[in-house]
């Protein structure tokens, strides 16, 4: 725990930083605080509540909840004197993390980085992640002087995972989804990844909403040994790019990407969805699922339609249909003739 002099310095430092934050930066600060709280409240706390500030280690659950019991970030300055020492340290810790910085960007600029065929609901917020020089250089070194190009793909995950993903990175060996081999799964279609991003309740004072969902837009170094995905042409060499060594279901499907090395991928954009009212949410989810289903099963649906068409043609040409059709026309003529005589 810091001394009284240290705490006074921390208070002055925090007050100075809070006074310089513009509305966009307040939303980014709110997101960091929201992700930290969500990780703490997760049933997977031991895994996702990392990194944890050293000054919070050793506190019991009630003490941690008291530290995280904060008003909206927009009123921090007005109630500054009411913040506890641990709350001061926590807020400074979030604002001084120099490994990355979050910036609010237009939603369209993020969604335009990947060409996708299926429409997707527009998120309420988009945050760009700007990494520090060390992390940028480390990532660029893995491209081997641009020998391996980079591309973008979407990743869906629970909101409580995002705090550790931003600070530590992806941990592909911990993923439960391994149908097409071990690794971290991505998609070129945001509507596919959204299925793995359920809405979660967050702290009541968040500026972003009461229930949020996150979709990650990630930058991937296209290393052929560790990035498995479908390639445009179907040569033997490219077919090998779709096979992960321990796959259980064959080649990686189109529009999917499996990355087997955690170092080759990083989050570049966070797309935040705020849950609307139940009826709108249900309609959006239904439309999204239908579009995804029709896109994924287009060939099978064509075959089913063709089969039904053959059945209908066969039925209309059958003697049974012709018999009942003649019977129907005969009775219709009798009814029409009878009604015509009654009107005369």
Q: pLDDT for 200-212, tens place per residue? A: 999 989 999 999 9
Backbone angles phi, psi at 71, to 5 degrees: -80, 180
Under the phi-then-psi rule, with left for phi > 0, alpha for psi from -120 to 50, and beta for the rest, what region is 149?
Answer: beta
| Cα–Cα distance measured from residue 334 to residue 340, given in angstroms and rounded to the nearest whole number | 10
* 3-state SS class at 244: coil
Contacts of 179 (CB under 8 A, 6+ apart): 247, 248, 249
**Average of per-residue pLDDT values in the chain:** 84
pLDDT digits (tens, 9 = 90+) for 60-114: 999 999 999 999 999 999 999 999 999 999 999 999 888 899 999 999 999 899 8
pLDDT digits (tens, 9 = 90+) for 247-300: 777 888 888 899 989 999 999 999 999 986 444 445 555 655 666 666 667 777
Give residue 327's pLDDT. Answer: 79
pLDDT band at residue 342, thresholds of 50, 70 and 90?
A: very low
Helix or strand holding residue 33 (H, E): helix 23-40
| Cα–Cα distance measured from residue 104 to residue 106, given in angstroms and rounded to the nearest whole number | 7
Indicate the pTM of the whole model: 0.76
| Cα–Cα distance measured from residue 246 to residue 157, given in angstroms and rounded to the nearest whole number | 23
Give residue 233's pLDDT. Answer: 43
Contact 224, 60 (CB under 8 A): no
Query: Which single residue is written with the structure tokens 């008003």?
Result: 71
pLDDT digits (tens, 9 = 90+) for 131-181: 999 999 999 999 888 889 999 999 999 999 999 999 999 887 666 667 788
Is the model more confident about 197 or about 341? 197
Q: Comparing C-alpha atoms, which of 69, 107, 67 is closest to residue 87?
A: 67
């Amino acid at each position: 725990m810091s001394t009284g002099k240290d705490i006074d310095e921390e208070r002055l430092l925090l007050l100075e930083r809070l006074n310089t934050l513009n509305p966009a930066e307040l939303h980014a600060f709110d997101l960091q605080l929201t992700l930290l709280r969500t990780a703490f409240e997760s049933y997977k706390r031991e895994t996702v509540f990392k990194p944890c500030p050293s000054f919070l280690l050793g506190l019991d659950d009630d003490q941690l909840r008291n530290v995280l019991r904060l008003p909206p970030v927009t009123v921090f300055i007005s109630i500054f004197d009411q913040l506890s020492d641990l709350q001061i340290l926590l807020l400074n810790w979030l604002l001084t993390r120099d490994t990355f910085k979050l910036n609010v960007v237009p939603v369209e600029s993020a969604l335009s980085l990947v060409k996708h065929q299926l429409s997707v609901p527009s998120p309420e917020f988009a945050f760009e992640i700007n990494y520090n020089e060390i992390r940028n250089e480390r990532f660029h070194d893995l491209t081997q002087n641009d020998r391996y190009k980079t591309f973008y793909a979407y990743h869906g995950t629970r909101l409580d995972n995002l705090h550790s993903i931003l600070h530590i990175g992806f941990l592909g060996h911990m993923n439960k989804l391994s149908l097409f081999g071990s690794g971290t799964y991505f998609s070129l279609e945001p509507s596919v990844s959204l299925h793995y991003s359920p809405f979660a309740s967050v702290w009541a004072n968040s500026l972003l909403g009461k229930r949020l969902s996150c979709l990650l837009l990630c930058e991937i170094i296209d290393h052929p040994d560790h990035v498995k995905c479908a390639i445009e042409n179907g040569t033997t060499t490219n077919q090998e790019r779709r096979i992960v060594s321990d796959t259980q279901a064959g080649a990686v499907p189109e529009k999917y990407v499996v990355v087997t090395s955690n170092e080759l991928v990083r989050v570049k954009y966070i797309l935040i969805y705020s849950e609307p009212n139940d009826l709108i949410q249900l309609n959006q989810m239904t439309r999204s699922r239908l579009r995804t289903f029709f896109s994924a099963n287009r060939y099978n649906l064509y075959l089913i339609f063709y089969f039904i068409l053959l059945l209908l043609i066969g039925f209309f040409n059958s003697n049974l249909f012709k018999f009942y059709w003649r019977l129907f026309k005969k009775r219709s003529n009798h009814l029409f003739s009878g009604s015509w005589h009654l009107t005369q």
